[in-house]
Amino acid sequence: MTRRLDFIKFFVGADVVILPDNDQAGREHAEMAARALKPVASRIRIVELPDLPRKGDVTDWLDAGGTVEKLHRLINLPPRSASSPNGDIRRVRFPPLRRAGIG
């Protein structure tokens, strides 16, 4: 297990944004990564990208017209809904891009 957590040292003090796949396994993996990083990261956000197909991921979002600029704007928008069941870890959901004025 120690070897699997070697990556943590690269996130000390980091502002982490996790983009999970759009399915249960993706959300669970995002939560697992967030819990592992919680002791060292300064902030952790799990951002669920809008308009993803089921099981879609960030590459699907980019293929559909998403850009780095749009991603930065999404990350900086106030979330429509957020919960923090894990303390400092925040799950963020956004409306579809067109309604957010980004699409």
Residue found under tokens 């396994």 = 25
- pLDDT score of 93: 61
For residue 7, the model assigns a pLDDT of 84
Whether the CB-CB separation of 54 and 42 falls below 8 Å is answered with: no
Q: Both ends of the chain: CA-CA distance in Å?
A: 42
Report field, pTM of the whole predicted structure over 0.85: no
Residue 68 Cα to chain centre, angstroms: 14
Mean pLDDT by groups of 10 residues along the chain of 103 residues: 72 94 95 92 89 93 92 77 48 54 50
Residue-level pLDDT at 83: 43
